[in-house]
Amino acid sequence: MPGRAPVGLIVGLIVSSLCALVVLGLDALNGASFLVGFALAIVPVPLLVALVLMLDRLEPEPWRALLFAFMWGAGVAVLGALVLNTAGYELLTKPVFGDRGELVTASVGAPLVEESLKGTVLFGFLWFRRHELDGLTDGIIYAGMVALGFAMMENVSYYMRAINQHNLEAVFIMRGVISPFGHPLFTSMTGLGVAYAALNRGAARVAAPVAGLCAAMLLHGAWNFSTAFGLKGLTIAYGIDFCILIGLIVTVVRERRQTVRLIHLHLPMYAATGLVTPQDVHMLGNIGLRRRARQWARMAGGTAAARAMGDYQLAATELALLHQRAERGVAEPAWFYRRRLDLMNLMHVARQAFQVRQTRPLVPPWALPGQSGFLQPGQSFGPPPPGPFSAQGPYRPM
């Protein structure tokens, strides 16, 4: 919902940024190699972030929350991993395993530490911002952001070491070109577990996040251990990661279809309020029409109208997903009604922003002939339909 950012989110961003500055300050002691490593680490990040966000076009996540996830990975998680991995190697694995201590740290210690630190922010979302997790795709998105932040900062150190060892080209191709989605794939397992817990009841609410975190650690450890077997080991690891990537894409596609189904199932009953028309429902269930609607709003009323159209689309989608929470029994009645009213008010305000005062009103491209698809100035929406916790009993879609 629009408004001021929560204080906790601001504090988290500040702490994460300070941790990232500490890590960069330590790396900067290496002089010129730091500048080269930092530049190379940043180069693929915009493209990778864009690819991750492409998965979430129907119900985009708040940019502040996405930024916080990214900075947590780039700051707190990296600094914590640097301290704990170094301490574990010097105090435990090196004295116990000797020459094999580095491999043990990379295959066991590092996955346990790094996936726990990256997963902490995801567990935080589950505890404090559960309403942001509307599906498995959201868990993948947040996991991808925190992992990309972590990988970016980790790559700085790898590139600096590669410069000193005169194999920068090979390391950049390996980490920046061939396997940039390694960390996001690992951490996405935790994201899936957390998102599943946010949308279900019973023992799964506890078991799913733990299982997801364990899967992330296992995949991460298997990847690091495969490097000890040269090209053969890496080939097997790449094959496993590719299968996981395909599985995640299938999950996102299936969930997007499920969201469209929810839009067509739940939003028509709000037609009596004047907030949606059948044409609006059709537009909201099609990404191409959504984009055309924002373009139309920009031509009709400028940037503010386009932003309002985006708010309308997001609120309508959230409203459909809210009913899914109610059907699964994970929405408290009081919170459900309050949240629904907030979303309806946002949809109403956004629709009014589209009404540009012109002698010849513009008609949205998805409306039928003779229909504007909008409320008239001064007109308010009617009463909401019976909800899933009405006096008549649980809502059952017909």
Per-residue model confidence as pLDDT tens digits over 256-281:
999 999 999 999 999 888 889 898 99
Burial (CB count <10 Å: 0-12, 13-18, 19+), residue 160: buried
Compute φ and ψ for 393, nearest 5 degrees.
110, 180
With 80 as the cut, is the pLDDT of residue 148 above it? yes
What confidence tier does 393 reach under pLDDT thresholds 50, 70, 90?
A: very low
Under 8 Å between Cβ of 101 and 86 = no
Q: Which of the residue ranges 195-199, 217-221, 285-289, 371-375 would you say has the lowest mean pLDDT?
A: 371-375
DSSP type of residue 331:
S
pLDDT value at residue 388: 42
Check residue 390 and report its DSSP letter: B
pLDDT recorded at residue 15? 94
Is the pLDDT assigned to residue 389 strictly greater than 70?
Answer: no
Angstrom distance (rounded) from CA 270 to CA 284: 14
Q: Alpha-carbon distance 80 to 119, whole Å?
A: 13
- Per-residue pLDDT of 31-55, as tens digits, reads 888 999 999 999 999 999 999 999 8
User: In this structure, are residues 379 and 274 in contact, taking their beta carbons and an 8 Å threshold?
Assistant: yes
pLDDT at 147 over 90: yes
Q: How many CB atoms lie within 10 A of CB 196?
A: 20
pLDDT surpasses 50 at 360: no
Mean pLDDT of all residues in 133-162: 93
Element (H, E) at 210: helix 204-226
Total residue length of the chain: 398
pLDDT at 200 over 60: yes
State both tokens at 23.
Answer: 């890590």
Closest CA to 125 of 215, 78, 191: 191
Specify the amino acid at residue 100: R
Contacts by residues 159-163 (CB-CB < 8 Å, ≥ 24 positions apart): 159/33, 159/36, 159/37, 159/40, 159/41, 160/27, 160/30, 160/33, 160/34, 160/36, 160/37, 163/33, 163/36, 163/37
In the predicted structure, residue 369 carries a pLDDT above the cut 70: no
**pLDDT, tens digit, for every residue of 164-179?**
888 888 888 888 877 7
pLDDT in tens, 93-144: 888 888 888 889 889 999 999 999 999 999 999 998 888 899 999 999 999 9
* Chain segment 310-321, per-residue pLDDT in tens: 999 999 999 999
Q: How far apart are the first and last CA of the chain?
A: 30
**Token pair 């935080």 is at which residue?**
124
Residue spans per domain, the chain? 8-261, 274-353
